[in-house]
Structure 1
Amino acid sequence: MKRFLIVIIASLLLMAQGCDKPDDNRSEVIDKARSNFISGFYSDSEKGFERYLQDNPQGEYRLEAWNYLVKIAAEVRHDSDRGAAILEAMYLEFGHKPEEASTLKRQLAEMYIRTGQYKAAVEALEKSLEYAGQSQERLDESRTMLAESFRKLRNYDLAIYTYNDIAKSTDNNVIKARALFEMAHTLTLIQAWERAESELEKLLKMDGVPEDIHAEAAFMLADIYEDRHEYKRAAELLEQIADTYPNPYAVRYKLDYLEKRF
């Protein structure tokens, strides 16, 4: 079904490229399509943007028109499959431009993640990361999505590797802290307790760690200590986050339990 949609939508692009009509960058068609979108007349808006693409093979607003079609498909109709198909068709047109290509592949990955197609999301993200000239912030975001997708696929080794790469390469302390936490969490999923402990302890010693990440890391580390029957050590950690952990009742409940164990 997805391939069928891509073929249908791509045919719109091919028809446009073969069209002999002159460009009309000030076309009333696209102005009306924008107006209809703002007013909530999405079907009319969709038809208008499609017509603009057909009539303006070199039009100045082609990227805008395509993007509106993605919005209508994904955000208005909640049809992520069609949204992905439109993005694939867009990539056929703009894939030779690095900035647009990386953005399109990133958007495509987000669309696949919405529908739980994590393998396809990984492929799109890996392609997106191949393009040079991206900001560190964009790279961090894309790599984080990639690591999360690997974890959803239960490919824990690659998830751990990617989180570690983020922590080493980013210059953003918040991103680094979150990457270390998520790496530690992933390590617990494969019962690599000692390495998880090491990463969490490293995280807790860092400067500039947001309060919520610090609290989550301390709670997870306390769990590891508890599993090793180091109850006093676990309790000491929990005391430090009694007022900062998102669920203070969970901290108090665990503290009450631990205090009976030593």
Structure 2
Amino acid sequence: MNKKISIFILIAFVAMLAACSIESSPGAYDIEHARDAYSKGFFLEAEKDYERYLQAEPQGEFRKEAWERLGEISITIKGDLDRAVVLLEAMYLELGEDQEFAWKTMFQLGGVYAELGNRSKAIDSYEKCLMLAAESPEHTYQTQLHMARLYRSIGSYDLVAETLENCAESAQDLNSKSHCLYELAQSYSFIGSWHQARKTLEALLAIPDISEETRALSIFLMADIYEYDRDYRKTRELLESILDTYPNRKVVESRLASLPEISPEPLPLLPPKQ
């Protein structure tokens, strides 16, 4: 009996020490209150508590959590992208030794800069992402896709092609490879490089077991090329083959209804732009 009492007293004493340790931590209340407020949707209140925690605990074990929550609140809740830039850059400076966390932070920062229209800073961020993603094929793939879209938005199609070709070559799975090739074919079509677009789509459609949606989107884009070539029979054949798999059936039906019944002599495809 005495042994049981002694064990109970020991457990109570350890619990009391743990409680005292928590209470003695300067930011203990702030982090707990921040979590509670965040879970209840009181985001502005949580934001203040996370900020207080960072100020009170310069070496605190929950700093990463606090930084991430503050970034999330700024981007998704408040839409304050300028503040998000400051937060993300501070996060990177403090916690950049963690490669996974550093990549995630830079990737977010690239997206925020892109939304702000600061494309040079966005590209700088994604270039850092590529270096941080050297050992992660998935991170490399995601970074290259976003970089290519950014290059496309500023009309740098040579860099678009280079980035997406690298993306397709280094992809570790067929799904990633197919996405890179589709983006590449789409980019070629935007600038009228029909030969390059068709060549890329043919390589894409030769990949076994690509997703049904990717196959349908690729065939739809191939139909654009044949329609430009005025081969309406082949265009119709391609469109009819994806009536049941293209994401929006009405779009395909509308294209089919607008096609001429008889194909004239096809035009030669334009050579790729230099």
TM-score with structure 2 length normalisation?
A: 0.81
Q: What residue is the counterpart of 1:137 in the other structure?
A: 138
Please name the residue that 1:164 is paired with.
Answer: 165
SS of 1:96's equivalent?
Answer: coil
Letter of the 1:154 counterpart: G
C-alpha deviation, 1:124, in angstroms: 0.5
Q: 2:223 corresponds to which residue? A: 222
Cα offsets for 1:101-129 (capped at 9, x unmatched)? 22211121122233343332211011111
Distance 1:246 1:98, change over 3 A: closer
1:195, distance to aligned residue in structure 2 (A): 0.8
Native 8 Å contact 2:133 2:140 kept in 1: no
Displaced runs of 4 or more, over 4 A: none
Offset at residue 26 of structure 1 (A): 7.3
State the Cα distance separating 1:133 from its structure 2 match.
5.7
Q: TM-score, normalised by structure 1?
A: 0.84
Residues 118 and 152, structure 1, Cα contact 8 Å, conserved in 2: no
Corresponding position of 1:118: 119
- When structure 1 is superposed on structure 2, of 42-51 and 76-85 the one drifting more is 42-51
Identical-pair percentage: 36
Q: Check the 8 A contact 1:25/1:60 in 2, yes or no.
A: no
Distance 1:246 1:59, change over 3 A: same
Deviation at 1:160, TM superposition (A): 1.5
Following the alignment from structure 2 to structure 1, what is the Cα–Cα distance between the partners of residues 258 and 240?
A: 13
Distance 1:231 1:174, change over 3 A: same
> Are the counterparts in 2 of residues 119 and 153 from structure 1 also a CA contact under 8 Å?
no
Query: Comparing 229-238 with 139-148, which one deviates more in the overlay?
Result: 229-238
Q: One-letter code of the match for 1:115?
A: L
Indicate the residue corresponding to 2:193 in structure 1. 192
Q: Residues 213 and 245 of structure 2 are in contact (CA less than 8 Å); yes or no, is this contact kept in structure 1? A: yes
State the alpha-carbon separation in 2 of the partners of residues 39 and 226 from structure 1.
55
Distance 1:253 1:41 in 2: 48
RMSD between aligned residues: 2.0
- 2:212 — aligned with what? 211
Q: Computing the radius of gyration over CA atoms, which structure comes out larger, 1 or 2?
A: 2
Cα distance in 1 between the residues matched to 2:143 and 2:60? 30
**Residue type of the alignment partner of 1:65:** A
CA-to-aligned-CA distance 1:22-43 (integer Å, 9 cap, x gap): x938712211111122223333
Residue segments in structure 1 that go unaligned for 5+ positions in a row: 1-22
Instruction: Give 1:212 deviation, angstroms.
Output: 1.3
Kindly tell me: are residues 187 and 25 of structure 1, through their superposed partners in 2, closer, same or farther at Cα, counting changes over 3 Å? farther
Q: CA separation in 2, counterparts of 1:224 and 1:133? A: 36
Residue equivalent to 1:177: 178
Question: When the two structures are aligned, how many residues end up with a matched partner?
Answer: 240
Summarize the alignment of residues 91-130 of structure 1 with structure 2, pairs less than 5 Å apart: 91-130=92-131
- Structure 1 residue 244, shift from structure 2 partner: 1.4
